[in-house]
Chains A and B, each alone.
Chain A
């Protein structure tokens, strides 16, 4: 949400529309209430502030990022260490980074890929060290397959954003 606001100050309903654009059918799973609750939480935390009167969209609350919010958004974009790759969140990261020109989506994909490769390296080595028929081997295989799937999707992300950059 913060990163979406980084592109331009927006009202709640405008943010809703942009979220729908980015998430498609998944956006419908986010209800309006969640958006407004999140906005008021972010406001209380000092990450966003209401824009003063005289704004073009008079009568509506238009939010913009505070410096602390900008820092928080930039931190989120460079974060790679979540235990599991959250597809929707990562996707939003790329969209928000590109729209607000906060960061290069390809760079974000690359950083994430490196992190997943480091994990794969560790998990593969752990799997190779397991004796044949070990119980844990099956669990490690599951982690490997998941990481592989995530890496494949990152490849698709890279291709798509590379094409968009060319246009």
Chain B
């Protein structure tokens, strides 16, 4: 396990808020959230739909700006960055994986993965090489020239994960990454995420699905925009696996 509790947190939020509307129609989607994640930690934020977890993830990924509070990622305070600084941050420091993949259907798998590297100013040759490596890593080297509509849901999500890694981010954020996938494809994606965690990346996954959450080291429960519970996840029931199937006594 690469969870090194020592050192400064790579993600730190203090009193983070996101509000929509005003007056009687005010919605506190994220309501005074404090969060810290250590480098290399795998963290799951769990809650029902509408609890604010996706909004929180958007804030963490610099895809949306908080209404209040402070937010540091990878040693940088990002709630105060300019639009340009924020775009820069999104390109280099985080990779985001969405439930609906958000791939460009007109581009091949390879081109989708190259795109972030090109946008970050890498040479086409570098981008191509990196994309090939990544597609190989997610087991899709032989699908590089396919357009997303010709791929299965699980394959598309693997392409999306490869794309999220294009600029070697330290932090990967995922929003219901297996929400549209069947059981076998879910396992593939979970394996990939576990591989990233093992390689030392910091992983934050928001989900309503315990199955996804159960692969993390730490699980935070969110309700109505706030954190209500936290638990460190460990196993230790391994000796009883047979019992769960009815095989054991």
Closest approach, in angstroms, between the C-beta of A163 and any C-beta of chain B?
13
> How far is B190's CA from A161's CA once the two chains are assembled, in angstroms?
32
Whether B105 sits at the interface, judged by CB under 8 Å, is no
> How far is B238's CA from A146's CA once the two chains are assembled, in angstroms?
16
Most buried by A among B48, B237, B238: B237
CB nearest to A140 among chain B residues: B241
Whether A124 sits at the interface, judged by CB under 8 Å, is yes
Contact A83 B244 (CB under 8 A): yes
Stretch touching chain B among A3-11, A26-34, A125-133:
A125-133
Contact A118 B194 (CB under 8 A): no
Closest approach, in angstroms, between the C-beta of A43 and any C-beta of chain B?
28
Interface size class of B (residues with CB under 8 A): 20 to 34
Contact A83 B210 (CB under 8 A): no
> How far is B210's CA from A124's CA once the two chains are assembled, in angstroms?
11
> How far is B209's CA from A73's CA once the two chains are assembled, in angstroms?
33
> How far is B49's CA from A155's CA once the two chains are assembled, in angstroms?
13
Contact B241 A148 (CB under 8 A): no
Contact A122 B236 (CB under 8 A): yes
19 A-B residue contacts at CB 8 Å?
Answer: A83-B248, A115-B237, A117-B213, A117-B233, A118-B233, A118-B234, A118-B235, A119-B237, A119-B240, A120-B211, A121-B234, A126-B238, A126-B241, A127-B187, A137-B187, A143-B244, A146-B244, A147-B244, A148-B210
Whether B243 sits at the interface, judged by CB under 8 Å, is yes
Within 8 A of A (CB), among B82-133: none
Contact A121 B235 (CB under 8 A): yes
Closest approach, in angstroms, between the C-beta of B95 and any C-beta of chain A?
21
> How far is B190's CA from A118's CA once the two chains are assembled, in angstroms?
17
Closest approach, in angstroms, between the C-beta of A82 and any C-beta of chain B?
9
CB nearest to A122 among chain B residues: B235
Whether A46 sits at the interface, judged by CB under 8 Å, is no
Most buried by A among B183, B244, B248: B244
Interface SS, A side: helix
Closest approach, in angstroms, between the C-beta of B127 and any C-beta of chain A?
30
> How far is B244's CA from A142's CA once the two chains are assembled, in angstroms?
10
Contact B240 A124 (CB under 8 A): no
Closest approach, in angstroms, between the C-beta of B245 and any C-beta of chain A?
6
Whether A15 sits at the interface, judged by CB under 8 Å, is no
Contact A114 B241 (CB under 8 A): no
Within 8 A of A (CB), among B182-206: 183-184, 187, 190-191, 194
With a CB–CB cut-off of 8 A, which chain A residues contact B190?
124, 128
With a CB–CB cut-off of 8 A, which chain A residues contact B243?
83-84
CB nearest to B240 among chain A residues: A83
CB nearest to B48 among chain A residues: A155
Contact A84 B238 (CB under 8 A): no
Within 8 A of B (CB), among A101-125: 110, 114-125
Closest approach, in angstroms, between the C-beta of B33 and any C-beta of chain A?
21
> How far is B212's CA from A127's CA once the two chains are assembled, in angstroms?
13
Whether B67 sits at the interface, judged by CB under 8 Å, is no
